[in-house]
Structures are given as structure tokens and as C-alpha cells.
Chains A and B, each alone.
Chain A
Amino acid sequence: QQQVKQSPQSLIVQKGGISIINCAYENTAFDYFPWYQQFPGKGPALLIAIRPDVSEKKEGRFTISFNKSAKQFSLHIMDSQPGDSATYFCAASIANTDKLIFGTGTRLQVFP
């Protein structure tokens, strides 16, 4: 019940295309859902996050869609760029804790 399932494992997108990564969870106590971006040799960097009181959050080219009833959330990267090539992790945590449960990651490659 503590797992966060992430798909796909890898994703190849043409420059300018839309990248979509999906995550699902079971624990209804989760109330914070961040996405992290990790480049090789670097630590994860917070990209965007959402709480379950909203269904969508947009920051620039990055959008989180959240479906509370389905216990699913997804990351959409619009107008994908080669510089977006990285590994993306979804995560979830319970209120007042910093114990993030991470998905297994999606390796995104954007080709020009």
C-alpha cells in the first residue's frame, strides 16, 4: 500500500512533442504528490508538485493532472525539448512527513 507505480519505464519523444508520464498509488493518506527531475550525476530536483484539493497544476510547459477517485496522477511536458532529457520520478507523501515514496522512474529522451 506504500507503493507508487510509475509508467512507462522509458519514453522517446520528438522535439516539440508532448511527453506523458503516469503514476498510481494505493494509500489514500497520501496528500502531497511531487515530480522530480534527475540528470545523470545529479540529485533529484523538484519540478512541480500538487495536493489533492486541485485536479490540475500548470507551471510553464509542465502540468500535473490529478485524479483523486482513480488514485492516479500524471506529468505532461508540452513542447518537449532535448534539454528535458532526464529521468523523471513521481513521488507521494503523507501530511506532516518528509518520507517521500518514489516511483521507479521514467527515462525520457527527446530527439531533435
Chain B
Amino acid sequence: DAGVTQSPTHLIKTRGQQVTLRCSPKSGHDTVSWYQQALGQGPQFIFQYYEEEERQRGNFPDRFSGHQFPNYSSELNVNALLLGDSALYLCASSFGAGANVLTFGAGSRLTVL
């Protein structure tokens, strides 16, 4: 049973570029949440998708956007990249929004130069 899978594993971008990160939830899960984890810090909630809609959003600017597809997979898009966007981006899935029990993927490490 595959857990949460994320791609790409690592990527390097330059300031001002745009990036798309992808996530496939654990089998049986229908809700996807995205977190940003800066080096040496705890993860910070970006937003959550359920039934293809953004259900909750953390304190992140509109440059951060997402999408959920009918097969429950999700994308995180970040526009106009800043140096401060360099972080590990974690996808977490769960069954049913508000269930609290999250399964995290290994993350996508984004470096912005």
C-alpha cells in the first residue's frame, strides 16, 4: 500500500520563476493538505483541499495556489518565487476533511537562487 508520494524530490529555481509540486495521497484518502517546512522549523500549514475545493488556508500570500483533481491528487503552485520560499514542501493526506489524522509524504525540497 503506497503512502503519500510527492514529486519532484528536489528542484532548483531562480527568483521570479514559477514552480508546480505534485502529490498523490495515500490509497483511500480523499483530502490533501500542504505544509511548508523551513530549515530547522516546524511545518506551517499552507492550505487544504477536499472535494476539489480549497477548504482551509493558512497565512500564505496569493502567490501560493493549488488544485485537487478528481482522483484526489493535488498540485501546489508558487508564482514569483522569492528566496524565502526555499523550503521543504510537505503534502499530507487524510480520509475526510477534519479527521485530524494526517499521513505525510517525504516532501519536495525547493531551493530558490
Residues of A within 8 A of B101 (CB): 46, 49
Indicate if the CB atoms of A98 and B44 lie closer than 8 Å.
Answer: no
Interface centre among A49, A100, A101 (most CB of B within 10 A): A100
Q: A43-B106, A44-B104 are in contact. Are A95 and B98 (CB under 8 A)?
A: yes
Indicate if the CB atoms of A43 and B105 lie closer than 8 Å.
Answer: yes
Indicate if the CB atoms of A98 and B97 lie closer than 8 Å.
Answer: yes
Interface size on A, residues (CB 8 A): 25
Interface size on B, residues (CB 8 A): 27
The prevalent SS among residues of B at the interface is loop
The interface stretch among B35-43, B63-71, B72-80 is B35-43
Q: Report the minimal beta-carbon distance from A13 to chain B, rounded to whole angstroms.
A: 20
Residues of B within 8 A of A102 (CB): 42-44
A42, B4: Cα distance in complex, Å: 12
User: A73 near B: Cβ within 8 Å?
Assistant: no
Residues in B90-113 with C-beta less than 8 Å from chain A: 90, 92, 94, 97-107
Contact of A97 among B4, B40, B41, B98 (CB under 8 A): B98
Interface centre among B42, B44, B103 (most CB of A within 10 A): B42
Indicate if the CB atoms of B41 and A98 lie closer than 8 Å.
Answer: no
Residues in B30-63 with C-beta less than 8 Å from chain A: 31, 33, 35, 40-45, 48, 56, 58
